[in-house]
Structure formats: structure tokens, C-alpha cells
Amino acid sequence: MSAGANRAPVVAVEGLTKAFNGKVVVDHVDLDVRRGEIVGFLGPNGSGKTTTIRMLCGLLRPDAGSGTCLGYDILSQSDRIKLEVGYMTQRFSLYEDLTIRENLDFVARLYDLKPRKQFVDGALERLGLANRHNQLAGTLSGGWKQRLALAASVMHQPQLLLLDEPTAGVDPKARREFWDEIHQLAAEGLTVLVSTHYMDEAERCHRIVYIAYGKVVARGTVPEVIEQSGLSTFVVKGGDGAAIARQLRGKDGVEQVASFGNDLHVVGPDAARLERSVREAVAGTGAVAAPDATNLEDVFIRLMGQSEDNFAAPKSGPAKETSP
């Protein structure tokens, strides 16, 4: 059971839909997030993640759908939602010509936080920014900009934190420190919905929701999503990896072939057919094949392959006869 499974829902929406210029980018999405949960929102570029997040926090009005965020109606009470949500955008959106402290002071004024200095000092200390408080934001590295953006997003003590690919462009150490802080905030009761492309980050979430081209195609804990995929995996070690890979592609039961260093990662939906093709491919090559655990990346690649791009040109079918 996921963390927060018995807690009250912070986000509960059904049928969330949004179109731009006649193209549906979010297509009847149902989403629930419970208090203290970290839910990962995953999907390819253009899948509707950012649009969904903006509808939840009141920045966009849905074309259809209903529900609540923080107990407020997403259609009629968006102004109330905005006051109690922290939203960290993918691109750094604070003022680069202001110092760290000046940026946080500006945000504190927007939320009318009093005493303002106390809130700013608390945010500086929590995110390890106190020693740099007079540094211009524009001179910060990606990791430090990320800390500043997070500090600004949680300074007003929101109940829900929405993170839109927050660790894009930062180094692994900064990403790990960021996620440690997110888990600490969740342990204190903050609810988090985070969009990400990183599989290791998805695995740090209590639950994940995968959206492809506007539609939710998988949801659950990481083990649940992997099990639901029904995929099997073999790893091939040794031999001429490139030659074996060429032989495996397109073979019965083989859906994915990927190189990981000197090894081959071979994935398919039917364990028996997959094993037969792998054994045939490695016979006499000196390579060794053995079953292995399917990973989240394998599942997501499959889900992308099974989904239809809502912006792709329609496929032309056979010509239809028309009456004269």
C-alpha cells in the first residue's frame, strides 16, 4: 500500500480535458493524490503533464472535467487554490538581477507573509541558502537556482507542491539533495505532484501516473506498473553484442533490444517466445543469456510505442467509394 493511502485526498479530479487550436492535449484525465504522498507524473514531451498541472493550480481553466484541489472546486475556486499551492516551474522564473534574499522577500510580499523577515530567514536556512543570501540569482549554478526556486515555492507553507520537471539540467548530487528535501517535506505533511523524465526519480515516488499524448495509460506503485506491463527480460553477456542485437531485432517475441555497456537488454511480452528467440540468437556465439528483472524504462518505452501521438498527421487509409 502506498504512503498516504488512508489519508484524505488533496487532489481529486475526473475527466480533466483541455484542447488548444482544436487539438486535445489533455484527454479525460482522472487523478487523485492523497495527503503526504509524492506522486510522480511521467510521460514523453508534449504528453500533457504541464497543462494538467496548470489546470490543477488554477492557471488554466479546463474545457471539461470536474473535481477539487485542496478541497476547493477547480472550476469556481481557482483563486483560493492559488494561495495554498506551491508551483515550481521547469524554467527558472525568479529575477536574475535580484539577490537570493531580494527574490525571497519579493515572494513574501506577494503572499503578504508577516513577519516577512522571519519567513525569508527561515527559507534561507532550510534550503542552505543563508551563506549566499546576497548573491545575484543570475550568477547561481543550476543546482543553486533549483534550491532558490524550491525555497520560494514552499516559503508560504503550501499544502500542495506542484513540481514541473524541477531537476532538469542539474547534476546528480544536486538532484539527490533535492529529493531528500522533498521526502522530508512530505514526511511533514506536504503533498507533492512532480513531473519528471528521470527513472530513478520516478522510483523515489510513492506512486506514479504515466500519461501519453493526453491519456493516462498506467498508474500505481513502481512494482505494480512493472507487473501490469506483463513484460519479460533477458540479459545477454559476452559474444559480439552488435551482431547478436541485429539478429534479435524483429525476432518472434522480441520487442526491445538495448545495449547497456557490453550487455544486451532484451525485452518482450511473452516469456516463452522471448526465451526461444534469445537462445537461438546466442547459440554458438559464446554469449550467455539469463532472465533478469524488467525495469521501469522498459515499461515506459513500451507504453510510448503503444500510444498514438495526438499531434501526428492522421494515417491515410484505403480510398472509400463515394456515391455519384
Whether the pLDDT of residue 233 is over 70: the answer is: yes
Contact 154, 86 (CB under 8 A): yes
CATH topology of domain 9-225: Rossmann fold (3.40.50)
pLDDT in tens, 248-286: 999 999 999 999 999 999 999 999 999 999 999 999 999
pLDDT more than 70, % of the chain: 92
Whether the pLDDT of residue 322 is over 50: the answer is: no
Give the pLDDT band of residue 308 (cuts 50, 70, 90).
low
Angle (CA) 103 125 204, round 5°: 95
- Confirm or reject CATH 3.40.50.300 for domain 230-306, answering yes or no: no
Residues 180 and 130: their CA atoms lie apart, in Å, by: 19
Give the pLDDT band of residue 90 (cuts 50, 70, 90).
confident
pLDDT in tens, 12-45: 999 999 999 999 999 999 999 999 999 999 988 8
Whether the pLDDT of residue 324 is over 80: the answer is: no
pTM: 0.87
- Helix, strand, coil percentages, rounded to 5, for the chain: 35, 25, 40
Contact 291, 232 (CB under 8 A): yes
Which sequence spans correspond to the domains of the chain?
Answer: 9-225, 230-306
Give the pLDDT band of residue 307 (cuts 50, 70, 90).
low
- Residue 308 has what DSSP assignment? P
Whether the pLDDT of residue 7 is over 70: the answer is: no
Contact 160, 69 (CB under 8 A): yes
CB atoms near residue 54 (< 10 Å): 18
pLDDT (0 to 100) of residue 71: 94
β-pairing, 85-88 vs 160-164, is parallel
Average of per-residue pLDDT values in the chain: 90
Q: CATH topology of 9-225 equal to that of 230-306?
A: no
pLDDT (average), residues 114-120: 97
Helices H, strands E: what count in the chain? Answer: 11, 14
Whether the pLDDT of residue 219 is over 50: the answer is: yes
Residues 58 and 82: their CA atoms lie apart, in Å, by: 6
Residues 118 and 61: their CA atoms lie apart, in Å, by: 35
Give the pLDDT band of residue 171 (cuts 50, 70, 90).
confident
